[in-house]
């Protein structure tokens, strides 16, 4: 296919996308209304190692977007579990599943009203090997990845909330 034919195919494929009604969530970039709302969210301290990881990831994402005065407070409760799966012939665990669940509430600081109450969650499989150190390292790495995933889910949901509550543009 020539470059010209490829360009024509690409243009024809793009024509239907113009009328699909999809618009970028972060219109206006860092100065847009969604980013401004996300920048006004203060993350309340979260208990435990998982809480420290999730809180750090949330702050990293929200503060990168904006840095306005706190209009909202985000309360997060985590449930972190490791469950043994599979057994070897000696009845030792062969695989684990680490599950991290978050229940979070976005609270309007001025009124104290809960404006968003939702959950997020993810899980990871961990191979249990002969080395206890390697297994503990794998569990820790899984928690780090799960914390990042949970933070991404929460920020995405906050962005949708911010989008939903923005006044309509003409």
Distance between CA atoms of 150 and 145, rounded to whole angstroms?
9
Of 124, 115, 116, 126, the residue nearest 147 (C-alpha): 124
Structural domains for the chain: 21-165 (3.30.160.150)
The pLDDT of residue 157: 96
- Is-above-0.85 flag for pTM? no
The pLDDT of residue 19: 55
Q: Provide the residue-wise pLDDT of the chain in tens; the chain has 170 residues.
A: 566 666 666 656 665 655 555 555 555 555 567 888 888 999 999 999 999 999 999 999 988 665 667 899 999 999 999 998 877 888 788 889 999 999 999 999 999 999 999 999 999 999 898 888 999 999 999 999 999 999 999 999 999 999 888 766 54
73 and 112 in contact (C-beta within 8 Å)? Answer: no
């Amino acid at each position: 296919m020539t470059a010209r034919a490829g360009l024509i195919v690409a243009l024809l494929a793009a024509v239907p996308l113009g009328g699909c009604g999809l618009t970028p969530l972060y219109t206006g970039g860092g100065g847009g209304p969604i980013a401004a709302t996300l920048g006004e969210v203060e993350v309340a301290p979260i208990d435990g190692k998982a809480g420290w990881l999730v809180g750090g990831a949330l702050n990293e994402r929200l503060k990168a977007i904006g840095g306005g005065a706190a209009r909202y407070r985000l309360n997060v409760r985590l449930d972190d579990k490791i469950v043994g799966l599979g057994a070897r012939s000696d009845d030792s665990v062969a695989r684990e599943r680490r599950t991290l669940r978050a229940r979070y509430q976005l609270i309007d600081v001025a009124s104290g009203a809960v404006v968003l109450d939702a959950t997020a969650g993810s899980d990871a499989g961990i191979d249990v090997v002969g080395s206890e150190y390697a297994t503990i390292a794998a569990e820790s790495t899984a928690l780090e990845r799960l914390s990042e995933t949970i933070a991404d889910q929460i920020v995405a949901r906050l962005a949708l909330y911010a989008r939903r509550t923005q006044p309509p543009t003409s």
